[in-house]
Amino acid sequence: MPIDYTKRPASTPQTPAAPVSLTKVTLTKSSPTVSLTKETAAGTLRVNLNWNARPQQSAGFFKRRQGGIDLDLGCLYEYTDGSKGVVQALGNAFRDRHSFGPQPICWLDGDDRSGSNTGGENLYVDLRQLANIRRILVFAYIYEGVPSWAAADGVVTLMPVAGPRVEVCLDEHDANSPMCAIAMLENTGADLAVRREMRYIRGDQQALDRAYGWGLRWSAGRK
């Protein structure tokens, strides 16, 4: 689904930061936030989605087709000049459309339709352009074929060039929701705040937009 924009979110209350280890930070409901300092918020941030490609067959709202799982990674972005958009495989929107130069700020490396790629799907964020970023909402979307989020057993890992990895497990499930808002990245001016969302949306990208007040114009898209 493509777009066009305008709308600013209300500020959110402060939440406790997750404890930091040398190798990995796991964001949880009780410790949902962590900050990437200027030292760690440098270079290119890789956001990786991995999941169980072949869960057991089950009945219910989601029914796996022959090809197995098609779970997609994407993001909504808003930049400091007010431009907004989406990066996702749907509609072939593999990179942002509002860059400040030849290099995009957000882009996908491709679309793993089968789940057979052991590297999963990867979204990249150029943190050398952090001054141009206002907020980025990372989401996952069940495009087709997954029996349930529980069966997909997904995990999203944010991998900065320095410092510990930040992990968000998709361990809360809503079998009636094909969309999940996973993490919000916000430029605070001093650092890049990463907040666990884990908010399931009963609808598509447009419903996600409404839930977070992005204010884009959507049209039908396909892969």
**CATH number for position 111:** 2.60.60.30
**In this structure, is residue 2 part of a structural domain?**
no
Q: pTM of the prediction?
A: 0.81
How many domains is the chain built from? 1
How is 10-22 classified by DSSP, letter by letter?
PP----PBPP--S
pLDDT at position 17 over 80: no
Specify the pLDDT at position 193. 96
In a domain? residue 222 = no
What pLDDT score does 5 carry? Answer: 37
Q: How sure is the predictor about 66, in pLDDT bands with cuts at 50, 70 and 90?
A: very low
Q: Can you give the pLDDT at residue 63?
A: 40
Domain with 192 in it? 33-212
What are the helix (H) ranges across the chain?
Answer: 149-152, 205-212
Residue 219 lies in a domain: no
pLDDT at 20 over 50: no
